[in-house]
A = this chain, B = another copy of it.
Amino acid sequence: MAEPQYELLYHPGIPGRGEFIRLMFEAAGVKYADVARDNPPDESGPNGYGLVQAITSPESTGDDDGNPPAFAPPALRIHGAGKNGKALLIHQTPNILLYLGGPLKLAGSDEPEKYYVNQLALTALDLNNETHDTHHPVAVMKYYEEQKDEALKKATDFRENRLPKFFSYFERVLKHNKSTGKGKHLVGESLTYADLALWQVIDGLKFAFPNEMRHRSSESPLLFDHFYPSLKDEPWLKKYLDSKRRQPYSMGVFRHYPELDLQ
């Protein structure tokens, strides 16, 4: 069997930012290697996470295929797509989603839609980043327990001010596209990577802030009663969520600290 053309390089053991990329492959039914997830250190053969760490090493000035260094995971290697037929290595989650949108046919049906999809995915990723900051408001390299007082303040502001702002926005985008997308799609009449990114963030928020999400759900009916469940019912997504490829939420972006949730 031929090697997959696409290699995802990301931390093992969490959905994290890699999940936005995995969902695109899963939705399109396209094979991909998940280098660290598929090659754990306790098996024979190469340790996949070592390869992930190598591309983001603080000493790296690029790889053997002529690609510049990557700032942080996730990165994507695409065999044959680089300069002189070598592998292309790209990083930054939104850049990877943009790259895959065309070949996986998840980027809308024309030029305006391509940019609508991209701006909505970027907005969902901003919400993802703000979620991360609720448990790490001061220092990304320190433990949550070392910044708990600040996290309580940050999470309160996030729940009370930021979540309603984001949810109201996505609700209005669904309303704008309702005659075409039927409340199931943010842009046009079929699935795009903006839908996948937003679905993943909502799914993670339901894990991290279950009380707050129950409290908010009636405020954005298209988003919570149509968009989220109808995508979750898609056969490909059900199958993926039941597979071992879907990793559980744990100590990544989406963490369930009850004290940060609505009391």
Residues of A at the B interface (CB closer than 8 Å) are: 58-62, 67-71, 81-83, 88, 90-92, 94-95, 98-99, 110-112, 115-116, 118-120, 122-123, 129, 133, 137-142, 147, 150, 153-154, 157, 161-162, 165-166, 168-169, 172-173, 175-177, 186-187
Contacts and interface: CB of A to CB of B under 8 A. Distances in A.
B172 A116 contact: no
A139 B153 contact: yes
Contact of A92 (B67, B70, B123, B139): B123
A115 B168 CA distance: 32
Given A58-B168, A88-B112, A139-B161, A173 B69 contact: yes
A138 B110 contact: no
A67 B120 CA distance: 12
A92 B94 CA distance: 12
A88 B68 contact: no
* Most chain B CB within a 10 A radius of its CB, from A71, A94, A176, A177: A71
A172 B68 CA distance: 8
A118 B110 CA distance: 21
Contacts of A120: 68
B68 A83 contact: no
B99 A176 contact: no
Given A62-B176, A119-B91, A150 B137 contact: yes
Nearest to A152: B138
Given A112-B81, A116-B68, A153 B153 contact: no
A154 B176 contact: no
Contact of A138 (B59, B112, B137, B177): B137
A201 to B, nearest CB: 14
Given A91-B119, A112-B83, A154 B172 contact: no
Contacts of A186: 68
Contact of A150 (B61, B90, B99, B153): B153
Nearest to A149: B150
A151 to B, nearest CB: 9
A221 to B, nearest CB: 14
Nearest to A130: B140
Given A90-B115, A140-B157, 18 more contacts: A58-B168, A59-B172, A62-B176, A68-B120, A68-B172, A69-B176, A70-B119, A71-B123, A82-B112, A88-B112, A90-B116, A90-B119, A92-B118, A92-B122, A98-B118, A138-B157, A147-B153, A150-B153
